């Protein structure tokens, strides 16, 4: 079979125009699949930015909450009830809200404000500059240096601004694992400062962050939270809930899926048509191979080898080109978001196998039916 594979490779490469068209079609399809699914993965990651950055093990929320931005405030008794539950090591409140910040230039910029528990500062970010103790100072805020940092006019330690007619001072600059999705900067302060500086409803606790005594206690903690009429989710479950919301209850998931399907169909049509034309033009050669004793299964192996060879080259080029675009986008476009993971690489690999399979099926049917007598007579 090694000799047959060498013949198949020569037949495929010798027709450079069709070989190039075949590679380009598959490359384009894989590029679109990887690019679009990576963008969607980045969107989902940024949508869960607060959950990832704060890092609490269990989150308590209202039953109607489906993403961190629409947190429904809970009464104070929920915090007390959770703290008294079996299996809870400790529980702290989290404030989450959006404030309109007036900058030194006079411009206004919406910002997410997270109020951390005064006693523990659970969920505090890693500081690049400043000391975490300074967050207890009057009017103190910590700013996150992420992709949206420049929208606050790149403040440094000591920069002042106004929040709801209150003076604010930057006492620290922090970094986080994931920046937010909706293009607004993030500020951290203490829970009591957030209540003091920002307008609030009757209830003020956006989430209760729970640390269990052990992983085995989490199911029982969730059951107890459910009994008092609220929802308890692990950090992974909360991220999945957020992903499901953006995938099924907004247009993002459907639109990305449709564009991915279009890219796949374009690649499939180009590669299938090109490879079928290639087989038609080389039908006499396959007939000649049959005439000298080649079996049908050997010709099938040759065709599978040709399609797989072209498909895997296209897969590698498509993934490589998409990776270059994503790397360049992250470096030069601050708001660009895309994450390549095993799941979208696996999806692209599955798609390229489908493309190879369909192209092979079209060609195999034609080659199996050819008779040496018809070729030699012609």
- Report helix angle 251-281 to 342-369, nearest 10: 30
Q: Is the pLDDT of residue 376 over 60?
A: no
3-state SS of the chain is CHHHHHHHHHHHHHCHHHHHHHHHHHHHHHHHHHHHHHHHHHHHHHHCHHHHHHCCCEEEECCCCCCHHHCCCECHHHHHHHHCCCCEEEEEEEEEEEEEEECCCCCEEEEEEEEECCCCCCCCCEEEEECHHHHHCCCEEEEECCCCHHHHCCCCCCCEEEECCEEEEEEEEEECCCCCCCCCCEEEEEHHHHHHHCCCCCCCECEEEEEECCHHHHHHHHHHHHHCCCEEEEHHHHHHHHHHHHHHCCHHHHHHHHHHHHHHHHHHHHHHHHHHHHHHHCHHHHHHHHHCCCCHHHHHHHHHHHHHHHHHHHHHHHHHHHHHHHHHHHHHCCCCCCCCCHHHHHHHHHHHHHHHHHHHHHHHHHHHHCCHHHHHHC
Q: How does pLDDT run across 109-141, given as a tens digit for each residue? A: 999 999 999 999 999 999 999 999 999 999 999
The lowest-confidence range among 222-231, 270-279, 348-357 is: 270-279
What mean pLDDT do residues 278-284 have? 75
CA dist., res. 299 & res. 318, Å (int): 28
pLDDT digits (tens, 9 = 90+) for 84-99: 999 999 999 999 988 8
pLDDT band per the 50, 70, 90 thresholds, residue 308: confident
Which residues have a Cβ under 8 Å from the Cβ of 19 and sit 6 or more positions away?
Answer: 12, 13, 278, 310
Cα–Cα distance for residue pair 272/350, rounded to 1 Å: 16
Share of the chain above pLDDT 90, in %: 37
Alpha-carbon distances of 78 from 62, 97, 221, 318, rounded to whole Å: 10, 19, 13, 51
Higher local confidence (pLDDT), 17 or 103: 103
Retrieve residue 198's tokens. Answer: 């920002």
Query: How many angstroms separate the first and last alpha carbons of the chain?
Result: 28
Q: What is the pTM of this model?
A: 0.76
272: pLDDT strictly greater than 60: yes
Other beta carbons within 10 angstroms of residue 68's beta carbon come to 24
């Amino acid at each position: 079979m090694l000799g047959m594979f060498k013949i198949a490779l020569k037949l495929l490469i010798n027709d450079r125009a069709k070989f190039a068209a075949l590679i380009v079609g598959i490359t384009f399809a894989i590029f679109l699949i990887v690019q679009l699914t990576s963008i969607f993965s980045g969107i989902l990651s940024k949508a869960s930015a607060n959950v990832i950055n704060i890092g609490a093990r269990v989150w308590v929320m209202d039953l109607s909450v489906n993403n961190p931005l629409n947190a429904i405030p809970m009464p104070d008794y929920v915090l007390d009830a959770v703290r008294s539950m079996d299996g809870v090591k400790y529980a702290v409140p989290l404030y989450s809200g959006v404030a309109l910040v007036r900058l030194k230039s006079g411009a206004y910029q919406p910002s997410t404000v997270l109020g951390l528990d005064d006693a523990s500062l659970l969920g505090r970010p890693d500081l690049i500059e400043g000391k975490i103790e300074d967050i207890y100072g009057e009017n103190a805020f910590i700013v996150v240096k992420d992709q949206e940092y420049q929208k606050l006019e790149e403040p440094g330690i000591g920069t002042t601004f106004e929040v709801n007619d209150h003076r604010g001072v930057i006492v620290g600059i922090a970094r986080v694992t994931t920046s937010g999705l909706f293009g607004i900067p993030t500020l951290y302060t203490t829970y009591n400062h957030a209540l003091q500086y920002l307008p609030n409803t009757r209830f003020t606790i956006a989430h209760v962050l729970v640390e269990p005594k052990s992983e085995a206690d989490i199911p029982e903690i969730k059951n107890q939270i459910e009994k008092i009429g609220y929802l308890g989710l692990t950090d992974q479950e909360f991220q999945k809930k957020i992903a499901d919301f953006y995938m099924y209850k907004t247009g993002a998931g459907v639109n990305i899926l449709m564009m991915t399907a279009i890219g796949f169909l374009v690649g499939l049509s180009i590669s299938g048509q090109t490879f079928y034309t290639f087989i038609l033009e080389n039908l006499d050669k396959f007939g000649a191979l049959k005439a000298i004793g080649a079996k049908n299964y050997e010709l099938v192996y040759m065709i599978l080898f040709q399609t797989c060879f072209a498909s895997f080259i296209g897969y590698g080029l498509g993934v490589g080109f998409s990776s270059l675009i994503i790397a360049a986008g992250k470096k030069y476009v601050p708001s660009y978001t895309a994450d390549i993971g095993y799941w979208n690489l696996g999806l692209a690999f599955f798609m390229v196998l489908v493309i190879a399979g369909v192209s092979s099926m079209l060609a195999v049917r034609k080659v199996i039916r050819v008779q040496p007598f018809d070729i030699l007579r012609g």
